[in-house]
A and B are shown apart, each in its own frame.
Chain A
């Protein structure tokens, strides 16, 4: 148990669906992250939030929309995804934006049909 909880663990969606991934951290951290993990590829940083403010967006398509309502919760809203978006989406948190040690959730395995 890393203190970071993600739901759902698995998600199958069609290209016209809208769904949301949820992440909650119980560590009192101030920074939260979304990563994409595809088979045989390095983890790709998607978004970074620090104190509920988005501080980084790594050229992610607009069909991915993050939301951070408070420092403990992070969402990733998905709409009109493509099959190549199928991957494991990992949430992580750290004490603050300058802290490099990350605590990861178990991820949401997403399949886009």
Chain B
């Protein structure tokens, strides 16, 4: 079967660092996506990892280990505006792509 696991909720302090983990078990795997979704808004693309390792993009970084079926999203220098839901999704298609989403991790950043 296809399964994505990520924590339901997390809380962190403004200015701190937080790591949101995601594990996946899928048949077929093309890469791992992270999306950010503020309440009442569209999910927006954050990152896409195909190869193992860390990809850094400003305050956000994403890591992938294909052998372990594991990814994380690292948010540094947290700001209040980072309070949102973070969706992990595995691409499992080939010519007909398909994304399998996790339930999302609701991050609350506190002053």
User: In the complex, A90 Cα to B95 Cα: how many Å?
Assistant: 23
With A41-B103, A105-B42 as contacts: A100 and B8 at CB distance below 8 Å: no
A45 touches B43 (CB 8 A): no
- Give 14 new A-B contacts, CB below 8 A, not counting A90-B43, A97-B96: A40-B103, A41-B103, A42-B100, A42-B104, A45-B99, A90-B42, A97-B97, A98-B95, A99-B97, A100-B30, A100-B31, A100-B93, A103-B45, A104-B42
User: Is B91 an interface position by the 8 A CB rule?
Assistant: yes
Contacts of B89 in A (CB 8 A): 43
Within 8 A of A (CB), among B35-54: 35, 40-45, 48
A102 touches B41 (CB 8 A): no
User: Is A53 an interface position by the 8 A CB rule?
Assistant: no
A98 touches B42 (CB 8 A): no
User: Is A4 an interface position by the 8 A CB rule?
Assistant: yes
A106 touches B103 (CB 8 A): no
Taking the closest CB of chain A, its distance from the CB of B35, in whole angstroms, is 8
User: In the complex, A99 Cα to B93 Cα: how many Å?
Assistant: 10
9 interchain residue pairs of minimum CB distance: A43-B101, A104-B42, A100-B91, A42-B101, A100-B97, A106-B42, A104-B43, A2-B42, A42-B103
B42 touches A100 (CB 8 A): no
With A40-B8, A55-B96, A97-B96 as contacts: A102 and B102 at CB distance below 8 Å: no
Cross-interface CB contact of A107 among B4, B42, B94, cutoff 8 Å: B42
Taking the closest CB of chain B, its distance from the CB of A4, in whole angstroms, is 7
